[in-house]
Structure 1
Amino acid sequence: MQLGDPGSQAISAWQSHAESAQAWLARHCETAPQPGGARITEGVVLWQHGQEAWLPVALWPSSGDGQELLELADNVRQAGRGLVSQLADGVLGIGYPVEDLTDEASSSAVGVGLLGAVALRVSLPAAQRDDAQAQSSLMPLMQRLEEGVAVLQRDTLQRYHRDSRQRQQALSRHLDLLAAVLAENRFNAASMQLVTRLASQLSCERVSLGWRRGSRCRVVQVSHSAQFNRKMNRIRATEAAMDECLDQRASVAMPPPDDDVDQVYAHRVVLAHRELLTMSGLQASLSVACLDDGKTLGGVTLERDTPFSASEITELESLMALVTRALEEKRLNDRALPIKLVAALGNQIKRLLGPGYLGYKLAGLLLVGAVSFAALATGPEQVAADATLESLQQQVLAAPFRGYIDNALVRPGDTVELGQPLAEMDTRELVLEQLQWQSELAKLARQEQQQRAAGDRAAVNVIGAQQDQAQARLELVESRLARASLVAPFAGRVVSGDLTQRLGGVVEQGEELFRLSPLDAYRIELEVPEGRIDAIAEGQQGELVLAAMTGERFNFEVERLTPQTRSADGSSRFVVEASLESNGRELRPGMQGVGRIEVGEARLISIWTRELVDWLRLTLWRWWG
């Protein structure tokens, strides 16, 4: 029986049914009544094996043929009731089904099933071969057969409940032990729980647990021993016994179990186990492999004075199948973090280079190809920077004198032509002042004529000075009147200055009223990251994509690297000015976008990893210099 063979329990149950059926058939046939000289000469029992197969399990006497009775038993099985058949002259066959009374059969939707069928050969004397006498002779035999089958069904039912109770008890022990192992957080504590409980449940002198390291198994825990010396001869012998078990991938028992009907354990190599028993002085040893998904992880060796039975070996195999995975997970979790990293890397390498994992290998090939291409191919290297569109120049229109706003003709965003009026100042006071100074000049002119006629040169000189003063005042007033209407100095767009809300309001001389920018003269302010400013130089070309026009690109040229810096998102950025090549589109100052400056050719892998490499260099310099 191989380790973990799922059919071992079925084979054992089948053998048990066969032995029970053979004993029952012999007892029934030998003690059956002989009414009127009729007697049972032969009998067979047909039993279910698996789901579909039906096989003979008992024959009485052992020298009989039973072929005709097997056919009768098969007919009984198919009919599901007792049958009587004429086999030969004076020979009758009687059969009766054996019903399955277990809980599994009674709870099925079909109803009560069958376990088997019994067929007997009855020989009648010559005097009872007519129908009436044969029927009177068969009635006691059929009644006896029905009662005997009831006894067989009862024995089968008792055996079923006994086996179920044993399985439940074994399962309960397994669950208790598994719960004790899972309750521990560390591998050493969990393995100590395992070996100690196994020693107690199986009455063992010593239980040793070994785990595979490389090609050999190493003892990691011994029952009732907190510490042990690995150099002890007994520990080495135990490890050799575990290796012997793992090499055969099967449980090894010394001596072989007495109930090993198929002599499975008798053909195993037991040299190391025999040497272990010689060294320990005990009578029996058993090694069971710890398997997880078909992989041998370790083994457990038990030593005691009484031999192990096949049922105990099977129970221990199923128990270790449950516990192994939990122990391995705890062992892996107990490893140090560097060891975990190395192990994970090793597993990935095994998947990449070992058999299987086709998708993993294809992904690895694609990754290697991509890295090779990036290391060999070159491409244009670009520096990305946030960009803001600014006017190349802006003209400020201020209030020419202190006065009041009479009319506002434009608002911010309006496009104006050269000489187009923008706003008008209130000129009523200036007109009155103009008339005043004109009247003053006329009066002074008359006074000058009178004094010149009188020949008073000194008075003429004084009046001439007063005339110059009045003329200057008049020219000043006329100049203000000429500037009372604000006009555009060039064709452009009004950037700021909304006077519609200040009509009639007073403005001071020199106060800013409007700000104008040209229509097609723009510059770009690029905020270049500090780490890439060394790659920027005047004359480099680039492209700009504005947030308002993402589908269009604008060409520009770097003109000036300024010492001005700006901080954003915790990093410093240098301001670089660039000139925008006009393409006829109507742009607006203040638009933002992203600009890319071409700084030359470089390998793709250096372009993609430049920021990471720079960060690593700074980090290494910070910590190690």
Structure 2
Amino acid sequence: MAAVNINEFISRLRALRKRNFHSSPEVFWADFVNIAEVLCLAEGAHVFAITGTGKVALQAEVVAAEDSLGHPVSPLALPTECEWLPELVVRSVQNGFAAHHDKVPLQAKPHWLCFRLTTQQPRVLLLKIAEENHTRLGDIVLRAQLIADIANDRPETRSDSNNDSNDALSLLSIMPEIYAATPLALSAYALVNSLVSQCNDIDLAAIGWQKGEYIRIECISHFDRFEEKADLVKLYEAALEEAADQHSVLHLSHSSTTDGMIVLAHEQLRRELGCDDLATLVIFGNEGQPIGSVLIVKMKGLIDTGVVHSLTFMLSLLSSRFDDLKVKEDGLWKRFKRRTGRILETLVGPEWLWTKVATVVLSSAMLWLVFGSLSFRVESNGEFLTDRTQLINASQDGLVIDVLATVGDSVERSQTLLTLEKQDLLLQLTELAAERQRYASEEDKARASNDIIETEIAKARGAQIEARSTRVQRMLEETNITSPFAGVIIKGERKDLLGAPIRKGDALMTVARIEDIYLQLLVDERDIHFIELGDRGEFALVSQPLSPLAFEVEKIIPIAVDGGQKGATFQIKAKLLEAPQNWWRPGMTGVAKVDKGDAAPYWILGRKSYNQLRLLLWW
């Protein structure tokens, strides 16, 4: 309203009230819509005629592209889905006005206000109010109701009706003087004195401002000074508070404003003053809360309702001015509290709830990432190992015909593990036995013929055959490969060995003793500089992930080994701090985590990506 010329606006309002819209309806509705938009702080406005008898049917009034002053008229854009509109119109026709609030997530949420106009054919005024003006909806509703009777096409029954309206609107002429008064006290004096001087229906006027929980009298017309603790002044303040507490106009001579309301203070003040009528009007601030009240008194006769309506309208226009002046006069601390309250209302209010929740969650996460702490643990793969192992090799060439144990089996000392094919060795023994028999016969024959040389030759050949038989017999015994000690087979699958041809010296199985088990870790080269002797951590086996085992770093092998696609790794030997279990086996694998204290979460979660980025950007 600060950019609106008040005198020009009042003149337009008076002229529009005198016009009959049937003479030039397009221009009349253009003026009416533009005035309604400015007066009611609306983003858009339009007038609809109700044409249906049973089901509500709306017909938009034809509005000129420009009003009578040449100002363009912006058409009101209705949402694509507005099933609520017919029901809103029905309620406005029944109650005088109705409201609807859009609540579409992550979109603008305007307020739609609908007002019944006082025309012979039912018509309604539809206003679109922006969400930022929701605190002033009460003020906007009052303003719209004050202009709802401008478009009145009913025949006049009293010749002086226009004069009454003009007399009521004449109160608006005092607004420039009030706007010109800079201090709040001077504006209040200008208001009460102008009301008494400009309106014959007002003999006395008083105004008070909200201070804390109470309203304190600011000024009374025709009184430069008054005693604040006087009984009459207390009655004024009680009446002003009575209207402000109920957020309503209280006019004693009109029961429509006092039905169901508390008017004890007003009745007591009327008796004390000896007047015939009085009324109290509330001034609402920019946030929709009462900031003060105005009391008007008529000693003889009744106050005209048109005067009350015009004064209500004028106060709604002046409310922003009064609120601004009141804020300027507040101390630094009160201004700080007010501004802080608005900021907090914006931050924690119900609007844009999920956006605020997401903002709080993201902000909390960012604060935790920067200022929080998280346990830093170096992760690596690990495996149970033991140095008490023995490799079982093939003692001769052959074919594995039976495998009596496989990986993971517990074996005893001298237990047969594999059996090699014996058929060739048995045939060799048979052949050697036949040759030994033949040489024995030759020896006997030579001895019978007393041939000493042939006897010795046959005897030597028999000894040679005996030696060969002993060697074959030993090889036959070695076809049953046994375990050198009690332990567990950690290498040598049955499916890989059964039926496989082997050569002497081939590795067949590995047997390990279940004792002196330690942990071997493979630490990535990017993390090896964090590991130190004596560091502790936990190791979770693949078979028992919920029962981690404590360990301590015992030795760091200073030579990297190829880790395949993962890059180079370093071997770490760690000592298990728990007693060995019967079910532990060398070769069991799992995941180890070495504790390195606490660090900032952002560094723990982003260090690898940061280092990788540095390598990519390095030249």
TM-score, scaled to structure 2: 0.40
Higher-strand-fraction structure: 1
When Rg is computed on C-alpha atoms for both structures, the one with the higher figure is 1
